[in-house]
Amino acid sequence: MKEAALFFACLIPFLRLIWLGTHAGLGVNPVEFVTHATGDWALNFFCVTLAITPLVRLTGWSWWAKRRRMLGLFVFFYAALHFLIFMSLDLEFAFADLGKEIARRPYICVGFASLVMLFVLAATSSDRAIRALGRWWGRLHKLVYPAAILGVVHYYMLVKSDTTMPLRYGVVMALLLGTRLVFLLKAKIG
């Protein structure tokens, strides 16, 4: 029951965009609004997902550990939407142009790399994949760290001059990843 509620909560940003879209609420540049919103939510879900390990370590609330897969898949959901908007309304599905843009624009290359990693993570998120990959699953899923970092770098590289938002995400990511370092060091020393 609580799972269903959390699932619905994760869908709210998407549903809100649909509602705004049908009520002329996407503003003067709707494509820009939706592109930014889906990108922001991918980063938000990255932060939430990466916060679970520290949260569970500090509180013992194991229920959240079991929700990590769902939250991680929502990172992929919003990132995929973000890419789909770009592919359809910027590139008009010209895949040859995608190749050119990836080659010429570092921020697109970095973003695409993050998306590819998320795809791999999503594709290997099933119970079957976990069983099939065995101890390789844990190693493969460390890809979430570079995927998250590249997401923030992508944002930083594309803003015109106001780096406030990407830097904020960067600080939060650094803190979340930093706690893991602390745990690692404690385990080694203690």
Partner 1 sequence: MGLAAAASFLPRAVLAAGNAPTDEALTPFKDITSYNNFYEFGTDKSDPAKNAHTLRVRPWSVLVDGECRKPGNFDVDRLIKDFPPQERIYRLRCVEGWSMVIPWNGFPLGALLKKVEPTAKAKFVAFTTLLDPEQMPGQKGGALPWPYVEGLRLDEALHPLTILATGLYGKPMPKQDGAPIRLVVPWKYGFKSIKSIVHIKLVASQPPTSWNLQIPEEYGFYSNVNPTVDHPRWSQAKERRIGELFKRSTLMFNGYAEQVASLYKGMDLKLHY
Residues that bind partner 1 (CB under 8 A): 27-29, 31-32, 89-90, 92, 101, 104-107, 157-158, 160-162, 164
90 vs 180, which CB is nearer to partner 1?
A: 90
Yes or no: say if 119 and 147 are a contact pair by the CB < 8 Å rule: no
Rg value, the chain, Cα: 18
Q: How far is the CB of 162 from partner 1 (least distance, A)?
A: 4
Collect all residues with Cβ–Cβ distance below 8 Å to 173 and sequence separation of at least 6: 46, 47, 50, 148, 149, 152
90 vs 170, which CB is nearer to partner 1?
A: 90
3 vs 32, which CB is nearer to partner 1?
A: 32
Q: How far is the CB of 142 from partner 1 (least distance, A)?
A: 30
157 vs 172, which CB is nearer to partner 1?
A: 157
Burial class (CB in 10 A: 0-12, 13-18, 19+), 177: middle
Yes or no: say if 171 and 185 are a contact pair by the CB < 8 Å rule: no
Q: How far is the CB of 40 from partner 1 (least distance, A)?
A: 13
**CA distances, 62 to each of 2, 22, 57, 97, 130 (Å):** 14, 39, 9, 45, 19
126 vs 163, which CB is nearer to partner 1?
A: 163
Yes or no: say if 34 and 85 are a contact pair by the CB < 8 Å rule: yes
Q: How far is the CB of 189 from partner 1 (least distance, A)?
A: 42
Q: How far is the CB of 111 from partner 1 (least distance, A)?
A: 12
